[in-house]
């Protein structure tokens, strides 16, 4: 197992409380001018499900812990594992899930308890598969009082342009500039563009869809269905 990374707080924003079931927060990555996003869902039983963990400052973590007990952690692919071990060290009862194909790399830093399909579901949280991607990332539907929100990872970006040389590189890679499936994603995780587009259109037709939560960038809370359907045309 790789050397564990201790609890390391990088700059991050305030917690965005989208509903009484759904919180999210965006934070920095080390040495990369991209924002990453953690999303937390309060399950039917009041416990917390965490997607793509980010170590937050003690004030924010205290607010999170007051909301519910962290019980499950999803490492959405083999690369989003930076703070996974630190979360398990802080919450030893946390159960970790990831795509089956990512398990060997995720297991290098933290014990994996099961694949996405092994994860318990309830009326609040529902995993949805996307056809045509090699990473086997799942999209998660959250059902709450506002309707339905979709949690993505690297398949869907909504990152704004970033200043400076590194920002220019990110822009040239097609990873910034609004809602999109990035060029990098098309190269390394999309096996069949037509199938991915079909899946995104089906997701765009989700009843009462009010938010798209990307793995990187801003949450889409306006015209979510239209934005996702338009993104599907550009896979």
Q: According to the model, what pLDDT value does residue 129 have? A: 86
Task: Inform me whether the pLDDT recorded for 51 exceeds 80.
Answer: yes
- The 3-state DSSP class for residue 188 equals helix
For residue 170, the model assigns a pLDDT of 83
Please name each of the domains of the chain with its CATH number: 16-232 (3.60.15.10)
Interval 184-221: pLDDT, tens: 999 999 999 999 999 999 999 999 999 999 999 999 99
Contact of 95 with 11, CB cutoff 8 Å: no
pLDDT in tens, 91-125: 999 999 999 999 999 999 999 999 999 999 999 99
Distance between CA atoms of 105 and 204, rounded to whole angstroms? 31
Collapsing DSSP states into helix, strand and coil, what is residue 47?
Answer: coil
For the chain, percent of residues with pLDDT exceeding 90: 87
DSSP structural state of residue 232 = H
Determine contact, residues 24/53, Cβ cutoff 8 Å: no
- On whether the pTM is more than 0.85, the answer is yes
Q: Whole-angstrom Cα distance, residue 153 to residue 51? A: 9
* Buried b or exposed e, range 10-25, using 16+ CB within 10 angstroms: eebeebbebbebbbbb
């Amino acid at each position: 197992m790789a050397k564990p990374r201790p609890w390391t707080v990088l700059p991050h924003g305030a917690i965005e409380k989208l509903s009484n079931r759904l919180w999210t927060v965006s934070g920095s990555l080390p040495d990369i001018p991209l924002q990453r996003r953690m999303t937390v869902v309060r399950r039917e039983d009041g416990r917390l499900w965490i997607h793509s963990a980010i170590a937050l400052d003690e004030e924010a973590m205290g607010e999170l812990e007051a909301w519910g007990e962290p019980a499950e952690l999803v490492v959405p692919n083999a690369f989003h594992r930076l703070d996974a071990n630190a979360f398990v060290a802080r919450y030893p009862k946390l159960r970790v899930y990831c795509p089956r194909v990512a398990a060997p790399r995720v297991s290098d830093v933290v014990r994996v308890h099961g694949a996405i399909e092994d994860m318990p579901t309830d009326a609040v949280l529902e995993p949805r598969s996307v056809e045509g991607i090699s990473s086997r990332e799942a999209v998660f539907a959250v059902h709450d009082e506002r309707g339905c929100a979709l949690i993505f990872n690297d398949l869907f970006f909504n990152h704004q342009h970033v200043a400076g040389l590194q920002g220019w590189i990110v822009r040239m890679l097609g990873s910034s500039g609004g809602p999109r499936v990035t060029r990098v994603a098309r190269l390394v995780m999309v096996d069949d563009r037509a199938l991915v587009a079909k899946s995104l259109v089906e997701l765009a037709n989700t009843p009462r869809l009010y938010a798209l939560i990307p793995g990187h960038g801003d949450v889409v809370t306006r015209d979510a269905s239209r934005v996702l359907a338009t993104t599907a045309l550009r896979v």
